Amino acid sequence: MSSISIELTLQQQLINQASELIDRFSFDKELKKCTLEYINYKFNQSINFSCLTAIHYDIFRAESNEEEKVNIQTIVELVLLASDIMDDLQDGDSGDNPWANIDLGYNLNIIISLLLICLEKIEDIQSANSTIKWIRTKIHQSILEAINGQHIDLTNQISSESDYISMVSLKSGALIKMACILGAGNTNKDTLNIIETYSSYLGIIAQTRNDVNDMINGFMKNDIVTKKRTLPILYYLRHENPKFQIIKDYYLGNQSYNEMSDQEISSLHELLIYGGAVEYCKVLQQLYVYKYKECIYSLNLDKQAEEQLLNIKI
């Protein structure tokens, strides 16, 4: 069977599991319809996080239970869905996602329901009570860290690379850490510490890549319109280069996007793309790829497991 066929089968398994969870509760008809639509949309887009969970489950667990693994993967994807919806709503950047044109109250109810359902789903896992308690604790910690990171991002007061790295480690790294740790299980402390460390590195790599892509896409995204201080923007704000003055005037001044002329917008966007920030971010990404690889090598795994971790896609 091809890898694509396996992935499609897993997607359907996760959709079925999540849908059964929704059916278990007495949802309002319209609320249920929206929730199932969101699940189908998101799970058919990408299940990279649950694949992270599966890889860590297969590598670090002494015993394998396929039902348990799929249950944990479902929890991970539902938490991620709730986080994605909240992130889009707060950033005002839902794009063409199905929750884009749905009433805010509806979406908040769906977010809360998804998170509560995830906590309920933990009870379905066939494990010792201590293991279930450990899983619940890790989910609580990860959600709270992600919320904290998102709040720091919303304040838009980040002024340095270290601030950015700290925020991203919480906002993106916490959810990646959750996916990896829940897969690996309650293994020895040293191994868990290494997994948590390289999960943060994966979060930094992924978020930096996303920020660069959003900047290149320009005003199709809200980041530039709302003057969001992402890593590539910080690059320009902290450099004393006269040619970056147009960027500083926009990001640090009172002029709004709507007040700019088409020529000003074009000049700003061109400088953002070709002024050096893209290259700077790529170098930073490579630094964290190196750090990530060093963590993997330190685990002293067999060659197959090592290759699986080194080829992870986020």
Where along the chain do its domains lie? 158-314
- Rounded to an integer, the average pLDDT of 56-78 is 91
Q: Which residue has the tokens 């010792």?
A: 128
Handedness of CA 47, 49, 55, 57 (dihedral sign): negative
Residue 6 predicted with pLDDT over 60: no
Task: Report the distance separating Cα 85 and Cα 79, nearest Å.
Answer: 10
Residue 167 predicted with pLDDT over 80: yes
- Rounded to an integer, the average pLDDT of 168-186 is 93
Confidence band of 3 (pLDDT split at 50, 70, 90) = very low
Confidence band of 297 (pLDDT split at 50, 70, 90) = very high
Residue that wins the pLDDT comparison between 50 and 124: 50
Confidence band of 9 (pLDDT split at 50, 70, 90) = confident
CA 70, chain centre distance (Å) = 20
All residues at 6 or more sequence positions from 3 whose CB lies less than 8 Å from its CB, including other chains: none
- Rounded to an integer, the average pLDDT of 109-119 is 92
Confidence band of 4 (pLDDT split at 50, 70, 90) = very low
Average pLDDT, the chain: 89
Residue 197 predicted with pLDDT over 90: yes
- Token readout for 180 is 């990896």
Report how far apart, in Å, the C-alpha atoms of 145 and of each of 45, 169, 259 are: 25, 9, 37
- Token readout for 217 is 């896409």
Q: Which pLDDT does position 219 carry in this prediction?
A: 57
Residue 205 predicted with pLDDT over 90: yes
Residue 288 predicted with pLDDT over 90: yes
Q: Which pLDDT does position 194 carry in this prediction?
A: 97
Superfamily of domain 158-314: Farnesyl Diphosphate Synthase (1.10.600.10)
- Rounded to an integer, the average pLDDT of 233-256 is 92
Length of the chain: 314
Query: Mean pLDDT lowest for which of 8-17, 158-167, 179-188?
Result: 8-17
Select from 180, 185, 246, 160 the least CA-distant residue to 61. Answer: 185
Report how far apart, in Å, the C-alpha atoms of 7 and of each of 2, 10, 46 are: 9, 5, 10
Task: Report the distance separating Cα 48 and Cα 57, nearest Å.
Answer: 14
Q: Which pLDDT does position 24 carry in this prediction?
A: 85
- Rounded to an integer, the average pLDDT of 183-187 is 89
Q: Per residue, what are the HEC states of 137-178? A: HHHHHHHHHHHHHHHHHHHCCCCCHHHHHHHHHHHCHHHHHH
- SS3 label, residue 17: helix
Task: Report the distance separating Cα 254 and Cα 84, nearest Å.
Answer: 30
H or E stretch covering 45 = helix 29-45
Q: Which pLDDT does position 1 carry in this prediction?
A: 38
Residue 188 predicted with pLDDT over 80: yes
Phi, psi of 46 (to 5 degrees): -160, 140
Give the predicted TM-score (pTM) of the model: 0.89
CA 68, chain centre distance (Å) = 23
Select from 95, 93, 116 the least CA-distant residue to 35. Answer: 116
Mind listing the pLDDT tens digit for each residue in 89-105?
A: 888 776 789 998 899 99
At 10, which amino acid appears? L
Residue 76 predicted with pLDDT over 60: yes
- Rounded to an integer, the average pLDDT of 194-212 is 94
State the helix-helix crossing angle for 48-60 and 66-91, rounded to 10 degrees.
140
- Token readout for 112 is 């809360």
